[in-house]
Structure 1
């Protein structure tokens, strides 16, 4: 019989298994390995029997024995016949010599040394733990319930076969997955009307990575980059970080306007498919006019097709790149919005000489993109899972968009917004003059989260705009969430009106 102190020690080492986390074998193995490597289970210590370990850890005896056997095979334990399991010293913790730091100088002032002035940039920050919010109207997230995990897992298993690992596991010196590039050319880009060859495509860690590479290649101090206003704040931040002059370009119901500032630009960044953040689709006439303007003024267009395939009302227009006959459009897009943002799968389509230079810059930055995710994504597309997911996502977003707009019309009838024809967000002007920051704080306190409008503007926001995303919120929570938002909007609008009267 073991003492109560001994049992208490093991219960502290072996926390009760979490049944909604990793498999029980993995949890138990991890607990034992960590205890051994941390020195809490010293070399030579005799461990409980398989039956005792099962009782202490709250798992079956078979699970406990399987974990012991695996740890013996891996060199963490010794199995001694008729004597039990003992901590083995074959795998030791890394040790370094101790060096006295007494008398060493103070560290440098990193704020003075760093060139990045973070206070000058606008961000779209979300509170910690936002995923637990009851009503998360946030953009750019995915719904795990829509993701075909079993299909992705099977493609991932295929990507981990010996021949596949030998291909992507080596240092490829900047090479991309030929299969993924081929699938982009055959199956993804044609939906946007784009024809490309392998030497015109570079894989990136998402669109933002692509923008940083383009800024690294093209941006110079004083060079003028036009960015939509309101527009994607990180495009603005990235070009400003490279000392370019960012010029705000107004947006109307047809996309970026053909305004006087446009003629001053060396480069133009725009989001024609679903303008960020308004959701406006650039008209055909405006696309043609923009391309003609670029040719006339010797400009290059960076087309961010960040949400290209989620049109659920009407027929999607071809990308700017598809109708560009003068090779003035550099196209950026991503698989991440449909699959999962965390996979970081993006790409650039550009003339071959540009891609060749971008490949060099990418190699300096990350050497090469992770080959396992590239191959898994390629197999996912090749085997038809991507198309099926796309069809399901369109239907889901269309349904959620309908419920959202109906709820807005019911609970915030004076709000101004466009009925979305695609994408996964609504850009909305709030009624009255509520304080957007105070409203957002009150909403967060009630579990309602939306994206504030201010970070999308080049200068101060003069009208109270917010963006409501619906890609990750469950359908049944949309109406109650908008109802709660409407209640808070009314309260803060009244508060603002009273404050105005007192002044």
Structure 2
């Protein structure tokens, strides 16, 4: 690889001749690791013009560095960092720089984040990865996604690829959402009532920003989706966490005064509880009595392989008070970051304006690629393949959990991709998680899902979406042994 000439500059306060300064500049680049073995240096003519020195000065510097084995010459190709050049020096421990800015005073607020769940970035190399929400190569239709991406790069889609939509979205993706995704959930909507987002988390953030503020109260489930806790904490509003039960959020436990209720009725996060229809109707009645809005996060409804999913809460809404959050990232791959909001036009108008101020719109090429993947039937085919494999893995895991006497605290009525687990009282599952990681087993401790200083420490989540069936039993056995050891 050629090293850009723009990365070279002479220090204005450097000592010595220009030739010595150039030699020192290049030697320091090699010793720091910035210039790597085998990389091509700029020609003497180009570097001389860039530095404003004579070409002979650069040539002499290169020659001296070659004599010291820092550089090597290749016929008709120029100078390269030598394969025998010294190894980069270890970085010295530098003293802390003096700060002229008092950042405690300069920052308007402290931002917290629960996005990183203690999962290593190289999770796929672990033998027993019970990790949630990651793309499994065995489940993803990479070949057809690649073909759709190539198709979206074609001349016919030049506008979708290059246009700044400002505050608008790809009409083909919106049309699919309106004609295929939403009717499956019993929802009918118009284009003006749909906004494409950078995943469900971005949709929740937009909803919270538009609907909440000083003097307003939000209700969230406990336990719940950790990034939602962070989002609400960053808004100057009151937050009440309501404990869920085996049927999800109990309407009778809602505070009398509230403005926005966040809920996951299809697959409660993280317990996987499914809210039955009578409770959904009771929740809508409670929201109506309080003149409150409901934000419904309908994640994982596609993974309903045990029985058909219940209609979405929004499909039962006759008042227009439910704002619906959907996502394609869970079924396709998490890095896609593509979701959508569905709600009354006045709300969507404000959410669209806010999105435009922050990021304009999700990339047009990604939207058009997804539109092709959905429209050509690949999405439905992937759902069927995932449902079959997840059903197989779930059966294997459930049997292993029962064999080892592990307690299932929650499992999806219609399917899903994980089990919500509970260890004996007194067992700290964060400590167990760290112990298991050293044994090539990855789990997710459950304390981060809870709100409050006294969050229980003995819950954990086991996902079966990222681990092959033939490794589940052994992985569960190791988990059971680690919990037994922690209980002793």
Q: TM-score range by the shorter chain?
A: 0.7 to 0.9
Higher mean C-alpha deviation, range 410-419 or range 354-363? 410-419
Q: Structure 1 residue 306 and structure 2 residue 299: aligned? A: yes
Q: Structure 1 residue 461 and structure 2 residue 468: aligned? A: no
Structure-to-structure mapping, 1:301-340, within 5 angstroms: 301-340=294-333
Q: Structure 1 residue 483 and structure 2 residue 486: aligned? A: no
Contact residue 401 and residue 420 of structure 1 kept, 8 A: no
Contact residue 420 and residue 426 of structure 1 kept, 8 A: no
Unaligned runs of 5+ in 1: 1-8, 11-33, 46-82, 88-103, 495-503
Q: 1:249 aligns with which of 242, 254, 264?
A: 242
Contact residue 122 and residue 455 of structure 1 kept, 8 A: no
Contact residue 198 and residue 337 of structure 2 kept, 8 A: yes
Per the normalisation by structure 1, the TM-score is: 0.77
Higher mean C-alpha deviation, range 252-261 or range 401-410? 252-261
Tell me which residue corresponds to 1:266: 259
Tell me which residue corresponds to 1:390: 383
Higher mean C-alpha deviation, range 255-264 or range 473-482? 255-264
Structure-to-structure mapping, 1:345-424, within 5 angstroms: 345-414=338-407, 416-418=409-411, 421-424=414-417
Q: 1:233 aligns with which of 226, 245, 252?
A: 226
Write out per-residue CA displacement over residues 299-337 of structure 1, whole angstroms, 9 at most, x where no aligned residue: 000000111211111221000011111000000010000
Distance in 1 (CA, whole Å) between partners of 2:229 and 2:192 is 28
Contact residue 295 and residue 325 of structure 2 kept, 8 A: yes
Contact residue 198 and residue 362 of structure 2 kept, 8 A: yes
Unaligned runs of 5+ in 2: 3-34, 47-74, 80-96
Distance in 1 (CA, whole Å) between partners of 2:121 and 2:272 is 27
- Superposition deviation, residue 168 in structure 1: 3.2
C-alpha change, 1:197 and 1:36, in structure 2 (3 Å) is: farther
Tell me which residue corresponds to 1:192: 185
Tell me which residue corresponds to 2:56: none
Distance in 2 (CA, whole Å) between partners of 1:105 and 1:138 is 41
Distance in 2 (CA, whole Å) between partners of 1:145 and 1:123 is 24
Tell me which residue corresponds to 1:178: 171
- Superposition deviation, residue 221 in structure 1: 1.9
Tell me which residue corresponds to 1:474: 468
- Superposition deviation, residue 41 in structure 1: 4.8
- SS of residue matched to 2:196: strand
Write out per-residue CA displacement over residues 333-359 of structure 1, whole angstroms, 9 at most, x where no aligned residue: 100000011011100001111111111
C-alpha change, 1:36 and 1:120, in structure 2 (3 Å) is: closer
Write out per-residue CA displacement over residues 281-310 of structure 1, whole angstroms, 9 at most, x where no aligned residue: 001000000011111110000000111211
Contact residue 195 and residue 340 of structure 2 kept, 8 A: yes
- Superposition deviation, residue 233 in structure 1: 1.5
Contact residue 405 and residue 419 of structure 1 kept, 8 A: no
Contact residue 226 and residue 449 of structure 2 kept, 8 A: yes
Structure-to-structure mapping, 1:130-141, within 5 angstroms: 130-141=123-134
Distance in 2 (CA, whole Å) between partners of 1:438 and 1:260 is 33
Per the normalisation by structure 2, the TM-score is: 0.79
- SS of residue matched to 2:419: strand
Tell me which residue corresponds to 2:43: 42
C-alpha change, 1:412 and 1:326, in structure 2 (3 Å) is: same
Contact residue 416 and residue 430 of structure 1 kept, 8 A: no
Structure-to-structure mapping, 1:48-197, within 5 angstroms: 106-118=99-111, 124-197=117-190
Distance in 1 (CA, whole Å) between partners of 2:408 and 2:269 is 19
Aligned residues: 410
C-alpha change, 1:164 and 1:119, in structure 2 (3 Å) is: closer
- Superposition deviation, residue 161 in structure 1: 0.6
C-alpha change, 1:448 and 1:420, in structure 2 (3 Å) is: farther
**Aligned-CA RMSD value:** 2.6
- Superposition deviation, residue 116 in structure 1: 3.7
Contact residue 211 and residue 260 of structure 2 kept, 8 A: no
Contact residue 408 and residue 420 of structure 2 kept, 8 A: no
Distance in 2 (CA, whole Å) between partners of 1:168 and 1:456 is 39
Write out per-residue CA displacement over residues 442-495 of structure 1, whole angstroms, 9 at most, x where no aligned residue: 11111111111111111122361101111111221111110111111111111x
Write out per-residue CA displacement over residues 352-375 of structure 1, whole angstroms, 9 at most, x where no aligned residue: 111111111001000121000100
C-alpha change, 1:414 and 1:250, in structure 2 (3 Å) is: closer
Q: Structure 1 residue 286 and structure 2 residue 289: aligned? A: no
Distance in 1 (CA, whole Å) between partners of 2:42 and 2:183 is 59
Tell me which residue corresponds to 1:501: none
Contact residue 406 and residue 423 of structure 2 kept, 8 A: no
Write out per-residue CA displacement over residues 355-411 of structure 1, whole angstroms, 9 at most, x where no aligned residue: 111111001000121000100000011111011001111111111111111110112
- SS of residue matched to 1:252: coil
